[in-house]
């Protein structure tokens, strides 16, 4: 696949998530759990890259409980990075997107990231 470099015109942030203990360190066998018995999610590092971002589709549905559930899907193309995987999250236009798939385009030239964002809104 040929990617036109001029189309990588949007700035995104890729955040690597890491489970952390109360002290902010990485998790090991001796770490304690929080009051709910869970380990907490923290951010290990953040990188900003240029990307081509396309909105594939979005949908909304009204639940019987009066909550609107909306989902937005994006296709993002970036230069190849070996440290990007499904455990990362994407920040674009102030919204947080979960990576659902990572596909390599060409031989270590580009990555295609399929992302989604879900939001629940209450209707008054």
CA distance 71 to 119: 6
Residues in the chain: 124
CA-based Rg of the chain, rounded to a whole angstrom? 18
**What pLDDT, in 10s, does the model give residues 3-12?**
788 899 999 9
Of 19, 82, 76, 74, the residue nearest 51 (C-alpha): 76
Strands (DSSP E) found in the chain: 10-20, 40-62, 67-79, 88-92, 95-105, 110-122
Mean pLDDT of the chain: 83
**What pLDDT, in 10s, does the model give residues 49-81?**
999 999 998 888 887 777 888 899 999 999 999
Domain parsing of the chain, residue ranges: 39-122
**What pLDDT, in 10s, does the model give residues 91-104?**
999 999 999 999 99
Q: What is the pLDDT of residue 18?
A: 66
Q: Which one has a higher pLDDT value, 116 or 57?
A: 116
Q: What is the pLDDT of residue 22?
A: 52
CA torsion through residues 45, 40, 114, 67, sign: negative
pTM for this prediction: 0.75
CA distance 52 to 84: 16
């Amino acid at each position: 696949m040929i990617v036109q470099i001029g189309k990588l015109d949007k700035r995104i942030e890729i955040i690597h998530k890491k489970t952390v203990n109360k002290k902010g360190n990485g998790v090991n066998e001796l770490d304690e759990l929080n009051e709910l018995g869970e380990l907490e999610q923290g951010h290990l590092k953040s990188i900003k890259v240029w990307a081509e971002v396309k909105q594939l589709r979005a949908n909304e549905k009204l639940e019987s409980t009066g909550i609107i559930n909306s989902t937005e899907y994006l296709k993002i193309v970036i230069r190849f990075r070996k440290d990007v995987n499904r455990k990362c999250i994407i920040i674009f236009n102030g919204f947080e997107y979960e990576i659902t798939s990572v596909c390599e385009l060409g031989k270590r030239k580009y990555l295609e990231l399929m992302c989604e964002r879900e939001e629940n809104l209450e209707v008054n």
